């Protein structure tokens, strides 16, 4: 089942990494000429956040490549023809979730000065690309079993704080199944929006103050 696919995918990735030679070089925003951004594009709200982030980065005269993963079999129209954005979906994965499209292959080969992984939850297709990228400086969210990033931002404390605030302001719910489901969906998106915005703010902060 799924578990076996996960194990096989992880083993194949490890094997590929053994043959990979990558040099690590700390790089800040000012000195980066080519920046790669990877993110989970399944929720459309994240697109708007990434677009704003890209605008800020573009002011630094860097070339930016953006790749979003949509965890679905179909790419909805609003993902198509977005200038500067590329996407891949479940249709672009092989049987053990390895990305196999021309777009992902090209992204993996690019020698970015900085690769920014903005995924909030573990996602093998994104992890695969991050791991095999020859980027000299890889940045993203802290997770205890993350081995492929050079700089990690821990957002757990912030998440706990957001949770506390949410509980304090949450109204007493009516026992209405439908509105409860809608609320949960809105909550999920809001939580993701806050976490993503916080992660981006922190990454920008550290990439601005890092010395080469």
Domain tally, the chain: 1
**Residue 80 phi, psi (nearest 5):** -85, 150
- Give the pLDDT score at 159: 76
CB 24 within 8 A of CB 136: yes
Beta strand pairing status for 138-141 and 151-153?
Answer: parallel
- Residue 51 and residue 196 in contact, taking contact as beta carbons nearer than 8 Å: no
What confidence tier does 28 reach under pLDDT thresholds 50, 70, 90? very high
For residue 173, give every residue at least 6 positions away whose Cβ sits within 8 Å of its Cβ, in sequence order, or none: 180, 183
Asked if residue 164 belongs to a domain, the reply is no
> Residue 83 belongs to a domain with what CATH number?
3.40.50
Tens digits of residue pLDDT in 114-142? 999 999 999 999 999 999 999 999 999 99
Element (H, E) at 204: helix 177-209
Q: Which of 158, 150, 127, 161 is nearest to 206 (CA)?
A: 150
The answer as to whether 63 is a domain residue is yes
Query: In this predicted model, what pLDDT tens digit does every residue of 142-163 receive, in sequence order?
Result: 998 889 999 999 998 887 877 7
**What pTM, to 2 d.p., does this model score?**
0.89
**pLDDT tens-place string over residues 54-111:** 998 888 778 999 999 999 987 766 666 678 899 999 999 999 999 999 999 999 999 9
User: Does residue 203 sit within a domain?
Assistant: yes
**Is residue 27 a part of any domain in this protein?**
yes
């Amino acid at each position: 089942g799924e578990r076996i696919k996960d194990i096989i995918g992880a083993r194949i990735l490890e094997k590929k990494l053994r043959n990979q030679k990558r040099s690590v070089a700390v790089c800040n925003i000012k000195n980066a000429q080519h920046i790669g951004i990877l993110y989970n594009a399944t929720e459309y709200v994240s697109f708007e956040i990434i677009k704003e982030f890209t605008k800020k980065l573009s002011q630094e005269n860097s070339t930016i490549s953006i790749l979003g993963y949509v965890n679905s079999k179909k790419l909805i129209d609003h993902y198509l023809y977005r200038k500067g954005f590329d996407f891949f979906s479940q249709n672009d994965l092989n049987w053990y979730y390895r990305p196999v499209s021309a777009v992902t292959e090209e992204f993996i080969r690019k020698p970015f000065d900085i690769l920014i992984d903005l995924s909030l939850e573990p996602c093998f297709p994104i992890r695969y690309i991050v791991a095999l990228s020859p980027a000299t400086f890889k940045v993203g969210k802290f997770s205890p079993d993350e081995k492929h990033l050079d700089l990690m931002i821990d957002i757990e404390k912030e998440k706990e704080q957001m949770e506390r605030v949410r509980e304090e302001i949450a109204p007493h719910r009516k026992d209405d199944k439908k509105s409860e489901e809608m609320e949960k969906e809105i909550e999920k998106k809001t939580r993701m929006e806050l976490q993503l915005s916080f992660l981006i703010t922190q990454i920008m902060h550290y990439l601005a103050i890092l010395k080469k």
